[in-house]
Amino acid sequence: MAHPDVHQAALGFSAMGSEARLDVLRMLVKAGPKGLAVGDIQRRTGIVASTLAHHLKFLAAADLIVQEKQGRSILSRANYGHLEGLAAFILNECCVDAGAGR
């Protein structure tokens, strides 16, 4: 898993900066690798279709989710590799300054 660069990390964290998008992302993480159809996400969240489409587009543009057309449905899945990379990015230098100033 590669760490994202600062620009990629900023895009990813920015995309998570909305309660609705964060709820959708967490729902997709919980759903596992099979993901969820857009209609299922809409039913579970109650988000209006046009607004949900906007949120999903934002998450996909930040590479937080992957979308795939299957027949007449669009499946959305969490991009676990990128999410792990974002977690590693933010925690990469954890506590490096803790011993400074001794």
Report the alpha-carbon distance of residue 63 to residue 80 in Å, rounded: 10
Report the alpha-carbon distance of residue 31 to residue 42 in Å, rounded: 14
Please give the model's pTM, rounded to 2 decimal places. Answer: 0.88
> Is residue 35 classed as helix, strand or coil in its secondary structure?
coil
Per domain, the residue ranges of the chain are 6-84
pLDDT digits (tens, 9 = 90+) for 43-99: 999 999 999 999 999 999 999 999 999 999 999 999 999 999 999 999 998 998 987
Closest CA to 27 of 68, 54, 55, 7: 55
- 96 in Cβ contact with 16 (< 8 Å): no
For the residues 29-34, what does the mean pLDDT come to? Answer: 96
For the residues 21-43, what does the mean pLDDT come to? Answer: 97
pLDDT digits (tens, 9 = 90+) for 6-24: 999 999 999 999 999 999 9
Predicted confidence at residue 6, as pLDDT, reads 94
Domain 6-84 has CATH 1.10.10.10: yes
Residue 3 pLDDT greater than 80, yes or no = no
